Amino acid sequence: MSATDVLELSAAQAADAIAAGSLSAAELFDAYRARAAADRAAGAAGLNCFTWVAGDGATPEPAAGALGGVPLAVKDLFCTKGVPSQSGSRILEGYLPPYTASVVRRLEDAGASLLAKTNQDEFAMGSSNENSAFGDVRNPWDRERVPGGSSGGSAAAVAAGLAPWALGTDTGGSIRQPAALCGIVGLKPTYGSVSRYGMIAFASSLDQAGPLTRDVRDAALLLKHMVGQDPCDATSLAFPGEIELPTAERLDGVRLGVPEELSGGGIEPGVLEAFRAALAQGEALGAEISEVRLPHAPHALSAYYVIAPAEASSNLARFDGVRFGLRAASSPEGENASDLLDMYTRTRHDGFGPEVKRRIMLGTYALSSGYYDAYYGRAQRVRTKISEDFRSVFEQVDLIVTPTAPSVAFELGEKTADPLAMYLNDFCTVPMSLAGIPAISIPCGLSQGLPVGLQIAGPAFSENRLLNAAYALEQSLGFDGAQARV
Amino acid sequence: MEHRPVSEELRTPQPPAGGSIKDDLYEPVIGLEIHVQLATATKMFCGCELSFGEPPNTRTCPVCLGLPGSLPVVNARAVHFGLMIGLALGSKLAPRSIFHRKNYFYPDLPKGYQISQYDEPLCLGGRLQDVRIHRVHLEEDAAKLIHVGSSGRIHGSDASIVDFNRGGTPLAEIVTEPDVRSAEQASVWLKLLRVTLRQLGVSDVNMDEGSLRCDANISLRPAGSNQLGVKTELKNMNSFRFIERGIRAEIARQQKILTGGGQVVQETLHFDPASGAITSLRSKEEAHDYRYFPEPDLLPVAIDEQMLAAARAAMTELPAERAERLQRALGLSAESAQQLAFRAELGDYFEAALAAGAAPAPPPQALANWITGELAARLSDGDGDADAGAGGDPSLSRVQPSALAGLVGFVAAKRVSVGAARQVLDKLIAEGGEPLAIIDAEGLAAMDGGDELAEIVAAALAANEDAAARVREGNAKAIGPIVGHVMRETKGRADGTEVARLVHEQLGT
């Protein structure tokens, strides 16, 4: 098989080829390793997808297991033993964890080989990957545009063919939105179905790991080996049944609900057009499409930007310079920290970027004495209302469909000066995060020559239903992502 | 450090115990917060074994070091112990309780927050004798900071190093209502709490090693008032003596302020047992805003019937119950029953001696007196804490329970005098053995009231004519030297009562 042919294979196809003996795991790994290493070596001239790439000779032993040694790119924030795990932050620069995240270990046990760590927004806070201490990631569809975030490195790497597939995390849209902006598939599973142990936390009650892949079948295959209860994560749950590889070709009788709150105002016309075309395609496949109401969804973003920063302000307290990571013991002028508070202050001043500081301050304020009920308490009540909205909608329809992001990939620097405009990127994805339900983004067309994402969401643990619907639509839409490959 | 509504009206106002306040102008109101390290095998939220003096940082893992990505998992055994404590204190056990994060920065707190319980604790309410319980909750212990340099405190030290072995050890925090009225009462009550916890087997309750630590919230109010004054919090006292001295010193300090027309400032204080000085750790203005919120990494603790049944099944007889039983079933005095029950090692020894089948059988009250009096005094290591060190535990001595039972039986049957029995006990403590053999070998058997004793009494009267004359004149106390003479002559073998009878008989009084 030629190197080009190898790169044409989806991850599932590659695993099959390895199992059939027509492709060696080492050959596949080397091909991707070379491409990833070239991007890393190119620095700002490349896409800057990676913060670490496996070295020469890192070629895995011929791997057993269902994943057959297919290389995997892993978002920087997953702890990988002895491999830099920095969560896109200066404060963790060069940090080598003494243990590997449960989900990564699970995938390695199933035969995945660690290819690279991917760039991301610092501590997963961002929607453009412009908040990384290790530089912006560029969108392979247009180098002057963002790949989305926070799993921007993972999405760009898969879209560009620098990795067969990748792990990301989604807190308010951090898998789905970059998948949409890069024209690939991204799935956020039901909260609790994938262990969070070893994921450097952003917001504990929202964070969830998921696959970023070229197609829906790959997403199913990777997810199949990710889910499962973990004794190290008290919030993890046993997935009922198994994730199955999707086979549906039709959507006969499937009831798709379109929430008017997430499919109208604030969405770019080109995105809406591609979205409506996809709905028409769904109808042609036999789906019944109806309008539904999520009356509290417009408040989701406000609630999210209280809850997530509140949890983050506490989760990020451990970065104090005492045990690991950066310790700013002296000023740039060489003046020693005068006391403990000074060391804390300098470490966190130097180590965290502006967006992280902004959210720590927001969260600290929201939790402070006298404000807790007005902010955190109220946000939690909104969260409950949103969950109730979804519950009642899922009594009427099987799945909900919306655009994934309100716009196609925007230009680098376009929204960095306006945090609120940046936060609006998560408008369609945050409600599902707050409700803890699964959602997938698949590419459904182009607008201005850039990919548009379609989001499909279902009730908790409906991943198989979701994957089948996404698969049927994907087959019929025939989106071609090959042009993004470098 | 607990945030709780302070009840304005106390159930039973109690008079201040003697000596705490001379002029009784002010009444102390004291609430206690006790941290108890639970004797689980592993830490509160990870699988590390608990540490007992291992080299620093050898009992750690990503979780108790707060490494990025690590997550806590609740130790089920700690919850079990928490329920047992709640049952022992008569608390209401919450069917659902929640862990919260208590956020603050300190190097001994690796995550930047302590996982504790806030407004939905495991156990609510309850009572242990004269002090009501406000709540009992579970949390994790901090790591140990060692300050290198002159001061031994963080300010002014050359460096501070952290040992994370202790970090994450399970703690139960027991918070009382402000029902304590004196330093002495605090100390007595804490001893009862400690023996109760020890009896439950949920903790080593060793204050020296920090497995039992106490904070006291102290305020003063005009005697007779039911308003509460401004309180101060005295932190981390680690022996009964320090607790008593610390509380007494703080009461005196506040009293001085108030009688001088000043106002007590709400602050957190440190009592230095070496100098007796009380220093401020932080004032109300410097108080932390802990930004409590529900720990999102943990699910609520749901207590089911199975967990309750397991906790109930693990309960043993508690000291207060034991005292009640000893009093009721054996007719012991309330004081003796309490002494035996609150020092479990004495109670166990007492019950073993009673069951030893000695003949003649020792009367229970006499046996109790001998154990709590003569025996305990001889075995005491001089530690007023009444700690059950080897020195205080009779089961670790050479005196077999059956031997003591036999000895007390002989005393009761007047086969040996009290004085002689004391000599036998000394011998038993030094060498062990059987009382009868010692009595025979030393010739300590009681003299019967026959001619031999009458002759010795007659000789004693002859040798103490002045005293005999005064007794004849009706001065009862004057008999002392005569009895003393007889005892010397008989090496204590004579029965004092019989000697007195013979004296009066021979003097015709």
Within a domain: B12:
no
Name every residue whose Cβ is closer than 8 Å to that of residue B406 and which is 6 or more positions away in sequence.
B356, B358, B362, B434, B435, B436
- The structure tokens listed for A150 are 């926070």
In the predicted model, what is the mean pLDDT of residues B7-11? 32
Query: Which residue has 């004081």 as its token pair?
Result: B335
Same domain, B86 and B146: yes
Q: Report the pLDDT value the prediction gives residue B139, as an integer from 0 to 100.
A: 98
Q: Report the pLDDT value the prediction gives residue A265, as an integer from 0 to 100.
A: 85
Q: Report the pLDDT value the prediction gives residue B387, as an integer from 0 to 100.
A: 40
Same domain, B109 and B141: yes
Judged by CB atoms closer than 8 Å, whether chains meet at B103 and A317 is answered as yes
Q: What is the CATH number for B455?
A: 1.10.10
The total of structural domains in chain B comes to 3
Q: Report the pLDDT value the prediction gives residue A332, as an integer from 0 to 100.
A: 64
Residue A249 per-residue DSSP state: -
Residue in A76, A169, A315 to test binding to B, most B beta-carbons within 10 Å:
A315
Mean pLDDT of chain B: 89
Contact call for residues B271 and B237 (beta carbons, < 8 A): yes
Name every residue whose Cβ is closer than 8 Å to that of residue A354 and which is 6 or more positions away in sequence.
A131
Identify which has the larger pLDDT, B281 or B123.
Answer: B123
Reply yes or no on whether the pLDDT at B13 is more than 50: no
From the candidates A89, A113, A150, A462, which is the catalytic residue?
Answer: A150
Which residue, B445, B466, B456, B448, is CA-closest to B487? B456
Same domain, B490 and B360: no
Same domain, B493 and B370: no
Touching A: B residues 55-74, CB under 8 Å:
62, 65-74
CA distance A15 to A354: 42
Which residue, A23, A10, A61, is CA-closest to A163? A10
Reply yes or no on whether the pLDDT at B3 is more than 70: no
Q: Tell which of B313, B329, B359 closes a domain.
A: B313
CA distance B449 to B442: 20
Q: Report the pLDDT value the prediction gives residue B272, as an integer from 0 to 100.
A: 87
Nearest to A234 among B74, B101, B154 (CB): B74
pLDDT in tens, B24-44: 689 999 999 999 999 999 999
| Catalytic residue flag (residue A150) | yes
Confidence of residue A289 (pLDDT cuts 50, 70, 90): very high
Same domain, B331 and B287: no
Q: Report the pLDDT value the prediction gives residue B154, as an integer from 0 to 100.
A: 62
Percent of chain A whose predicted confidence (pLDDT) is above 70: 97
Identify which has the larger pLDDT, B387 or A423.
Answer: A423
DSSP 3-state percent helix, strand, coil across chain B (nearest 5): 40, 20, 45
Judged by CB atoms closer than 8 Å, whether chains meet at A232 and B73 is answered as yes
In the predicted model, what is the mean pLDDT of residues B478-505? 87
pLDDT in tens, B444-456: 888 776 678 888 9
Q: Report the pLDDT value the prediction gives residue A80, as an integer from 0 to 100.
A: 98
Confidence of residue B414 (pLDDT cuts 50, 70, 90): confident
CA distance B182 to chain A (A): 34
Same domain, B47 and B181: yes
Do you find a cis peptide bond into A150, omega within 30 degrees of 0?
yes
Q: Tell which of B292, B313, B334 closes a domain.
A: B313
Mean pLDDT of chain A: 95
Q: Report the pLDDT value the prediction gives residue A249, as an integer from 0 to 100.
A: 96
Edge-to-edge strand order for the sheet containing B113-117? Answer: B113-117, B99-103, B293-294
Contacts of B160 in chain A (CB under 8 A): 340
Q: Report the pLDDT value the prediction gives residue B388, as an integer from 0 to 100.
A: 36
In the predicted model, what is the mean pLDDT of residues B129-143? 97
Reply yes or no on whether the pLDDT at B207 is more than 60: yes
User: Longest C-alpha distance within chain A, in Å?
Assistant: 71
CA distance B116 to B112: 13
Confidence of residue B386 (pLDDT cuts 50, 70, 90): very low
Judged by CB atoms closer than 8 Å, whether chains meet at A318 and B66 is answered as yes
Name every residue whose Cβ is closer than 8 Å to that of residue A8 and which is 6 or more positions away in sequence.
none
CA distance B24 to A113: 78
Within a domain: B483:
yes
Reply yes or no on whether the pLDDT at B486 is more than 60: yes
Beta bridge partners, A187, equal A440
Reply yes or no on whether the pLDDT at B89 is more than 70: yes
Q: Report the pLDDT value the prediction gives residue B298, as an integer from 0 to 100.
A: 98
Reply yes or no on whether the pLDDT at B83 is more than 90: yes
ipTM exceeds 0.85: yes
Query: Which residue has 């790119």 as its token pair?
Result: A73
Q: Hey, is the C-beta of B427 within 8 angstroms of any chain A C-beta?
A: no
Within a domain: B2:
no
Nearest to A322 among B70, B103, B162 (CB): B162
Q: Report the pLDDT value the prediction gives residue B202, as an integer from 0 to 100.
A: 97
Identify which has the larger pLDDT, A272 or B474.
Answer: A272
Q: Torsions phi, psi of B401, nearest 5?
A: -55, -40
Contact call for residues B60 and B48 (beta carbons, < 8 A): yes
Q: Report the pLDDT value the prediction gives residue A65, as an integer from 0 to 100.
A: 84
CA distance B26 to B358: 54
Same domain, B338 and B242: no
CA distance A91 to chain B (A): 12
Q: What angle do CA B453, B458, B463 make, to 5 degrees?
A: 125
In the predicted model, what is the mean pLDDT of residues A321-328? 93
- The CB density around residue B369, as the number of other CB atoms within 10 Å, is 17
Q: Report the pLDDT value the prediction gives residue B189, as an integer from 0 to 100.
A: 94
pLDDT in tens, B307-347: 999 999 999 899 989 999 999 999 999 999 999 998 888 99
Q: Hey, is the C-beta of B287 within 8 angstroms of any chain A C-beta?
A: no
Contact call for residues A167 and A211 (beta carbons, < 8 A): yes
pLDDT in tens, A97-146: 999 999 999 999 999 999 999 999 999 999 999 999 999 999 999 999 99
Confidence of residue A3 (pLDDT cuts 50, 70, 90): low
Same domain, B144 and B249: yes
Same domain, B93 and B118: yes
Same domain, B425 and B287: no
Q: H helices of B66-182, where? A: 76-88
Confidence of residue B4 (pLDDT cuts 50, 70, 90): very low
Within a domain: B13:
no
Q: Could you give all domains of chain A from N- to C-terminal order, each with its CATH number?
A: 3-253+402-484 (3.90.1300.10), 298-380 (no CATH)
Same domain, B135 and B275: yes
Question: Considering the entire predicted model, what is its pTM?
Answer: 0.88
Q: Containing domain of residue B306, as a range? A: 26-313
Q: Report the pLDDT value the prediction gives residue B149, as an integer from 0 to 100.
A: 72
Same domain, B302 and B323: no
Question: What is the CA B160 to chain-centroid distance, rounded?
Answer: 34
| Catalytic residue flag (residue A174) | yes
Secondary element (H or E) of residue B481:
helix B480-490
In the predicted model, what is the mean pLDDT of residues A27-37? 95
Within a domain: B437:
yes
CA distance A392 to chain B (A): 25
Which residue, A458, A478, A475, A454, is CA-closest to A466? A458
Judged by CB atoms closer than 8 Å, whether chains meet at A317 and B67 is answered as no
Q: What angle do CA A39, A40, A41 make, to 5 degrees?
A: 90
Reply yes or no on whether the pLDDT at A213 is more than 60: yes
Q: Are strands B212-222 and B232-237 parallel, antiparallel or unpaired?
A: antiparallel
Q: Report the pLDDT value the prediction gives residue B236, as an integer from 0 to 100.
A: 76
Q: Report the pLDDT value the prediction gives residue B19, as an integer from 0 to 100.
A: 44
Q: Are strands B131-140 and B170-176 parallel, antiparallel or unpaired?
A: antiparallel
Judged by CB atoms closer than 8 Å, whether chains meet at B103 and A320 is answered as no
From residue B62, how far is each of A28, A324, B45, B101, B299 by CA, in Å?
34, 11, 11, 18, 20
Within a domain: B17:
no
Confidence of residue A62 (pLDDT cuts 50, 70, 90): low
Reply yes or no on whether the pLDDT at A400 is more than 70: yes
| Catalytic residue flag (residue A75) | yes
Confidence of residue B120 (pLDDT cuts 50, 70, 90): very high
Secondary element (H or E) of residue A116:
strand A113-118
- The CB density around residue A313, as the number of other CB atoms within 10 Å, is 25
- The CB density around residue A281, as the number of other CB atoms within 10 Å, is 19
